[in-house]
């Protein structure tokens, strides 16, 4: 469809969940989930809101790290909760619990969800650090003496080639990972809900009534998106790598990981600029993330849009304080 001119920009953002969507407004955060009986259930979500409590955490660059931690923690809790709600009412199987299940129930009881979250988070961090930090540097050192442009780089360009090489590897790995995720039907449905979230926000920003028909007409690629943020971080990481004069396969990735807060801070400020302004510069900055959204967002069905609308309506403030542009 032909792109419309946005009448206003809202600070409201969201996250796709298991059979649902979480919308976060200036005063309220709500999760809407389609249950197994077809009904839609709303539930309040309670973010950390550290930035609102301490002024220093709202400073540029700092706020990016704080908001990312808040989003990860809040999003993980909402994702786990949505999975529970989506499965409520389904028939339980007669299978006997495994010994592992009985051991976990005996030692952790109702705290098992928190334990699973902690373990999964630790494993995810270890995996990401290994794949996105150590592997690119290891591959560079492995192929530096083989590839012509790395074997004899132009004088003074060694650091540029290494940073660019590592950055391209990270982007390729991220792209492959996202493509593999779409092969899972449950993840694909999450990506559809992701599309419903973007479409609903666009519909609201255009000043249209929040109806399924109006939402369906919107595009699903939004410049202020978590996917765009991740891609911007990868690109910013390439630039930061130019200033690291270390080639050691262990020390270099450790230094880059320690500089992650800087990468997050810069990426966050860029995504905020892209979300507030629409011009040639912001469109160029947002373009890689928007391209990636062709993978991480899919066209939703009407029932998914209904869920997004319910979540959106519940967080829209009456006084319009969500309007940032």
pLDDT at 24: 96
Nearest to 153 by CA among 162, 30, 72: 162
Residues sharing a CB contact under 8 Å with residue 182, sequence separation 6 or more, in sequence order? 188, 191, 295, 298
Whole-Å CA distances, 194 to 4, 165, 183: 20, 31, 16
Nearest to 304 by CA among 20, 84, 85, 30: 20
Range from 129-133, 183-187, 196-200, 289-293 carrying the lowest mean pLDDT: 129-133
- Name the one residue in this structure whose structure tokens are 């593999």: 180
CA–CA dist 195, 305 (Å, integer): 9
Angle subtended at Cα 254 by Cα 248 and Cα 259, rounded to the nearest 5 degrees: 120
pLDDT at 5: 52
CA–CA dist 266, 118 (Å, integer): 27
Nearest to 45 by CA among 82, 19, 10: 82
Chain-centroid distance of CA 81 in Å reads: 18
Q: Tokens at residue 207, please?
A: 């000043």
Asked whether the whole model's pTM tops 0.75, one would answer: yes
Do 69 and 48 form a contact (C-beta atoms < 8 A)? yes
pLDDT band of 277, cuts 50, 70, 90: confident
pLDDT at 202: 95
pLDDT at 94: 53
SS (H, E, C) 29-67: EEEEEECCCCCEEEEECCCCCHHHHCHHHHCCCHHHHHH
H-helix or E-strand spanning residue 20 = strand 20-24
pLDDT band of 23, cuts 50, 70, 90: very high
Maximal C-alpha separation, the chain: 69
Q: Please give the radius of gyration of the chain, using alpha carbons only, rounded to the nearest integer.
A: 22
154-207 pLDDT, tens per residue?
555 777 888 988 999 999 999 999 999 999 999 999 999 999 999 999 999 999
Chain-centroid distance of CA 52 in Å reads: 21
């Amino acid at each position: 469809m032909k792109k419309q001119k946005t009448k206003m920009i809202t600070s409201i953002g969201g996250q796709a969940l298991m059979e649902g969507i979480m919308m976060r407004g200036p005063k309220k955060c709500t999760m809407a989930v389609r249950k197994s009986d077809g009904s839609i259930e709303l539930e309040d979500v309670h973010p950390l809101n550290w930035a609102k409590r301490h002024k220093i955490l709202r400073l540029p660059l700092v706020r990016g790290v704080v908001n990312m931690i808040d989003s990860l923690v809040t999003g993980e809790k909402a994702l786990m909760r949505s999975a529970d709600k989506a499965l409520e009412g389904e028939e339980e199987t007669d299978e006997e619990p495994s010994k592992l299940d009985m051991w976990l129930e005996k030692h952790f009881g109702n705290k098992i969800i928190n334990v699973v979250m902690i373990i999964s988070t630790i494993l995810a961090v270890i995996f990401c650090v290994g794949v996105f930090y150590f592997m690119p540097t290891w591959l560079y050192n492995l192929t530096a003496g083989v590839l012509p442009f790395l074997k004899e780089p132009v004088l003074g360009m060694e650091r540029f080639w290494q940073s660019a090489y590592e950055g391209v590897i990270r982007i390729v790995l991220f792209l492959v990972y996202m493509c593999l995720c779409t092969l899972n039907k449950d993840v694909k449905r999450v990506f559809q809900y992701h599309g419903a979230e973007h479409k609903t926000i666009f519909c609201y920003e255009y000043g249209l009534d929040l109806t399924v028909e109006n939402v369906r007409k919107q595009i699903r690629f939004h410049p202020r998106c978590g996917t765009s943020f991740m891609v911007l971080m990868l690109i910013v990481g390439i630039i930061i790598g130019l200033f690291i004069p270390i080639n050691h396969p262990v020390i270099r990735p450790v230094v880059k990981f320690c500089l992650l807060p800087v990468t997050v801070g810069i990426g966050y400020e860029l995504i905020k600029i892209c979300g507030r302004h629409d011009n040639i510069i912001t469109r160029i900055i947002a373009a890689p993330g928007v391209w990636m959204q062709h993978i991480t967002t899919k066209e939703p069905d009407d029932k998914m849009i209904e869920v997004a609308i319910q979540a959106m309506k519940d967080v829209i403030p009456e006084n319009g304080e969500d309007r940032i542009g």
